[in-house]
Chains A and B, each alone.
Chain A
Amino acid sequence: MARRRKSRASGISEISFSWRGLETIIRLFVAYVLLGLLFLLNLTALPIPHAGVIKPDFVLMAVYYWAIFRPRLIPTWLCFGAGILLDVLSLTPPGLQAFILVLAQSLVRDQRKFLMAQPYISLWAIFGFVAMMAAGIQWGLFGLVNDMQWPAIMPVAIRVLVTLCLFPVVTMALIGTHRFLSPAQNSYP
């Protein structure tokens, strides 16, 4: 009875809670739209010379950032799915980018408390290391299934460098989205 009375008494607060819920959904929607855009930017044809080689790994940037600050925003299955889609749409062996993204997310998430305490410049430098490792593993695994023939390492290195250089630009958008997200959003346990 007491419970029922309590629930009746909090009717208005329940309505306000639902509005807050709607607000959270809208805020989350903005975050996922940005994620979707970064995913599509990784795939779409950019009309700039050598776009393929210099196109940065936007998805890795988002996975890295959210693994530190909002790990629940990109669940592992979404990370896996995005990787598989990137693979099948760009003719790379399915599972290659999915493995890299899941691995990067898992490792960064494990160290998130340490990373959250770091200044931005350190986060940037650590991202450089993550991007380099991701590209290196990708390069190694790709050669294994490509008749033991590995592609030239220089374009891979250039891509890592461009990804690293554009990291602040993308993180500006991610930080903006982060601020826009309500603090009520679940944080990682």
Chain B
Amino acid sequence: MQIRSRPRSLIRIATLQAWGPRATSLFFAVAALILFTMSFASPNNMRSLRTTAADIFAPVLAVVNYPIEQAASYVRAVTGIAELQRENTRLMQENARLREWYHAALQLKSDNESLQKLLKVQIEPQHTFITARIIADSDTAFVRSVLVMAGSDQGVDAAQAVLGGEGLLGRIVETGKRSSHVLLVTDMNARVPVFVGAGNMRAMLAGNNTDRPELIHLPPQAQVKAGDRVVTSGHGGLYPHGLPVGEVAAASDGALNVRLYADIDRTTYVRIVKRTDDPNLRIAPVAAPEAD
């Protein structure tokens, strides 16, 4: 009589337990495979699950990450004094050299702006950034991504470009309320339209799960040499135009790899580029003709 009065679900669970741990394992293994297949069939359905989990775990990961980060900076400070002295000398020399370049750049900028004004070229707006801390690192053999402690509450939106250190690091792929997943440019599924060299040759930067992504889809007559600068082209509208990416590094097998300016291993904070508006649809303001 007691068994009859129990809810059916409880009876089912009891029966499952009676089958033993093997049946339980089989049940969960099948459930995992079903979820896996579902994620393959409709990846977007898993997005809310991912963002919710990331939002819940973000504060915990931030707390865990903080002492590790502090310990690392302490170790770097203690062990790197000799290296710091060398670095300081090198930076002082570089600074003296760059000061000359700074004045030249100011002059060139001024010339460029006046020429653009004459030609009525729409000047790209200055980028604004959201700074966020990396709290989780899933930069693994399978997926190259990081979790950052900023989400839609801080103004982060999907597909925004992310800079780390001196160059492009990746883009936002999923945004929760207070955390976001960044897919790194090194991931095998990442593709970034870029310009290569002074001639602005169009190419595609393709991640390959190594630290040096490849340049593909270059024009057949393209003459690319090691050291050529690679910047985002802005084609497709995902990435803004002109973000620094890296330098061409000749590979031994003939493939063209890119040495990235951003070093993920040394990056603790990232800058998320805020979208002003669609760069392809920006309307140029009518400039008043200058009277000479």
Contacts and interface: CB of A to CB of B under 8 A. Distances in A.
Q: Do A and B bind each other?
A: yes
Interface of A: 37, 40-41, 43-53, 55, 71, 76-77, 79-80, 83-85, 88-96, 98-99, 102-103, 105-106, 109-110, 138-139, 141-142, 144-146, 149, 151-152, 155-156, 158-159, 188
A98 B53 contact: no
Contacts of A43: 57, 61, 136-138
Given A43-B61, A95-B35, A103-B29, A155 B49 contact: no
B54 A152 contact: no
A91 B61 contact: no
Interface of B: 21-22, 24-29, 31-40, 43, 46, 49-50, 53-54, 57, 60-61, 64-65, 68-69, 72-73, 134-147, 173-174, 181, 183, 188-189, 208-211, 265-266, 268
Contacts of B34: 95
Contacts of B73: 47
Nearest to A155: B141
B183 A99 contact: no
A91 B35 contact: no
A76 B23 CA distance: 10
A102 B57 contact: no
Could you say which of A48, A85, A98, A105 has the most chain B C-beta atoms within 10 Å of its C-beta?
A98
A99 B33 contact: yes
Could you say which of B22, B31, B32, B181 has the most chain A C-beta atoms within 10 Å of its C-beta?
B32
Contact residues of A: prevailing secondary structure: helix
5 contacts: A51-B265, A53-B140, A89-B50, A99-B32, A159-B141
A46 to B, nearest CB: 7
A85 B65 contact: no
B188 A79 contact: no
Given A52-B138, A102-B29, A85 B36 contact: no
A44 B135 contact: yes
B145 A141 contact: no
Closest 4 CB pairs of A and B: A52-B139, A90-B138, A95-B36, A95-B35
Given A51-B137, A89-B138, A44 B35 contact: no
Contact of B137 (A52, A85, A102, A149): A52
A8 B210 CA distance: 70
Contact of B265 (A49, A80, A98): A49
B147 to A, nearest CB: 7
Nearest to B143: A91
Nearest to B60: A40
B37 to A, nearest CB: 8
Contacts of B46: 88, 93-94
Nearest to A75: B24
A98 B35 contact: yes
Could you say which of B173, B210, B265, B266 has the most chain A C-beta atoms within 10 Å of its C-beta?
B265
Given A77-B28, A99-B33, A106-B22, A89 B147 contact: yes
Given A44-B61, A45-B146, A152-B210, A51 B32 contact: no
B50 A91 contact: yes
A80 B60 CA distance: 20
A41 B174 CA distance: 22
Given A45-B135, A52-B138, 17 more contacts: A40-B61, A44-B137, A47-B68, A52-B137, A55-B140, A76-B28, A84-B32, A84-B35, A89-B54, A89-B147, A91-B138, A91-B183, A99-B32, A145-B40, A146-B188, A149-B188, A151-B142
